[in-house]
């Protein structure tokens, strides 16, 4: 049975006081839910320590939005490594988010290095994959996903891969208000699971969490989470609004799938 995961990606939003307010309202509303699903928040990296302290052992995970390609300490101004995140007590990290792929020109090869570094440091990586609208319209969805996955997974052994969470995030659905239909999302999730089964066996594939991301909100979460291969969501804009994020977590906790 796969436990559903709802992860909030705060992107470049927040201030000390706003973060504290948001976390306090999540603590009030989420405790009962955090026993049946995994809940994670990914604030901007400079606030990770603040959020870790606020969480203070409660059942909410803390993740970073990025990590360096450099593994070892050195002259890399502005970078922070996977082992620094682990040192801070951070347990998850987003890898290859489409905003980083497009704005920072992060390549599939860099994503693969980050994934390996994160695993080596004991972090749980959330590997983001997804196609652009042009790629979808050209009928290339599966090719794009297969490329992104095969480059990211090259050289990983089964034990490493078993710690990876994949997030399918169609680029055209991120921050646009356009959500993939539950059927469109399910189709790609099933493809990802088959792809993993083909390379690494069905047991690993059946245990892998595959999240959907792209304009998930309270109004569409339930239908998405009912799909057999959707194991939760990576939530951007709605993660900054307590009522929305809580309702999305509730939809995951109430999912009839494994009940």
User: Is residue 236 close enough to count as binding ligand PEP by CB under 6 A?
Assistant: yes
**Which residue number, 83 or 180, has a Cβ lying nearer to ligand PEP?**
180
44 by Cβ neighbours in 10 Å (0-12 / 13-18 / 19+) ranks as middle
User: Is residue 96 close enough to count as binding ligand PEP by CB under 6 A?
Assistant: no
- Using alpha carbons only, how large is the chain's radius of gyration in Å? 17
User: Is residue 175 close enough to count as binding ligand PEP by CB under 6 A?
Assistant: yes
- Shortest Å, Cβ 215 to ligand PEP: 4
Cα(105)–Cα(94) distance, integer angstroms: 16
Stretch that binds ligand PEP, among 51-59, 76-84, 148-156, 211-219 (CB under 6 A): 211-219
Identified binder of ligand PEP from the candidate list 174, 188, 247, 248, rule CB under 6 A: 174
Identified binder of ligand PEP from the candidate list 5, 9, 117, 123, rule CB under 6 A: 9
Question: Cβ distance 2 to 252 under 8 Å?
Answer: no
User: Is residue 244 close enough to count as binding ligand PEP by CB under 6 A?
Assistant: no
Give residue number: closest CB to ligand PEP: 236
Cα(112)–Cα(69) distance, integer angstroms: 9
CA angle centred on 125, ends 121 and 130, rounded to 5°: 150
Mark whether 189 is an active-site residue.
no
Mark whether 97 is an active-site residue.
yes
User: Is residue 216 close enough to count as binding ligand PEP by CB under 6 A?
Assistant: yes
Cα(5)–Cα(11) distance, integer angstroms: 18
Cα(25)–Cα(180) distance, integer angstroms: 29
Farthest CA pair distance, the chain: 51
User: Is residue 169 close enough to count as binding ligand PEP by CB under 6 A?
Assistant: yes
Identified binder of ligand PEP from the candidate list 43, 125, 214, 232, rule CB under 6 A: 214
Stretch that binds ligand PEP, among 43-51, 110-118, 210-218, 247-255 (CB under 6 A): 210-218
**Which residue number, 83 or 114, has a Cβ lying nearer to ligand PEP?**
114
CB atoms within 10 A of CB 57: 6
**Which residue number, 232 or 237, has a Cβ lying nearer to ligand PEP?**
237
Site size with ligand PEP, rule: CB under 6 A: 14
Question: Can you list the alpha helix ranges (DSSP code H) found in the chain?
Answer: 16-29, 48-55, 82-87, 98-103, 108-120, 133-137, 141-153, 158-161, 182-200, 202-207, 218-226, 242-253
Question: Which residues contribute to the site for ligand PEP (CB under 6 A)?
Answer: 9, 11, 169, 174-175, 213-216, 234-238
Active site residues: 97, 169
């Amino acid at each position: 049975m796969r436990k559903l995961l709802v992860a909030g990606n705060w992107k470049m939003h927040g201030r000390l006081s706003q973060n504290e307010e948001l976390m306090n309202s999540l603590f009030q509303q989420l405790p009962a839910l955090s026993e049946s699903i995994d809940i994670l928040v990914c604030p901007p990296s400079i606030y990770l320590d603040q959020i870790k302290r606020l969480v203070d052992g409660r059942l909410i995970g803390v993740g970073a939005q990025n990590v360096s390609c450099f593994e070892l300490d050195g002259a890399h101004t502005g970078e922070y490594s996977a082992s620094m995140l682990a040192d801070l007590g951070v347990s998850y990290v987003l890898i290859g988010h489409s905003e980083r792929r497009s704005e920072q020109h992060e390549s599939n090869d860099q994503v693969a290095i980050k994934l390996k570094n994160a695993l080596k440091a004991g972090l749980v990586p959330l590997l983001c994959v997804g196609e652009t609208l042009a790629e979808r319209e050209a009928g290339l969805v599966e090719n794009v996903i297969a490329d992104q996955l095969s480059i990211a997974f090259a050289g990983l052994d089964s034990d490493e891969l078993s710690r990876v969470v994949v997030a399918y995030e169609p680029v055209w659905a991120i921050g646009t208000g356009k959500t993939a239909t539950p059927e469109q999302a399910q189709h790609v999730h099933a493809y990802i699971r088959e792809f993993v089964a083909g390379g690494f066996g069905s047991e690993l594939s059946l245990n892998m969490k595959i999240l959907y991301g792209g304009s998930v909100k309270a109004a569409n979460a339930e239908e998405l989470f009912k799909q057999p291969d959707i194991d939760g969501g990576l939530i951007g804009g709605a993660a900054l609004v307590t009522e929305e994020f809580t309702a999305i977590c509730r939809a995951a906790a109430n999912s009839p799938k494994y009940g």
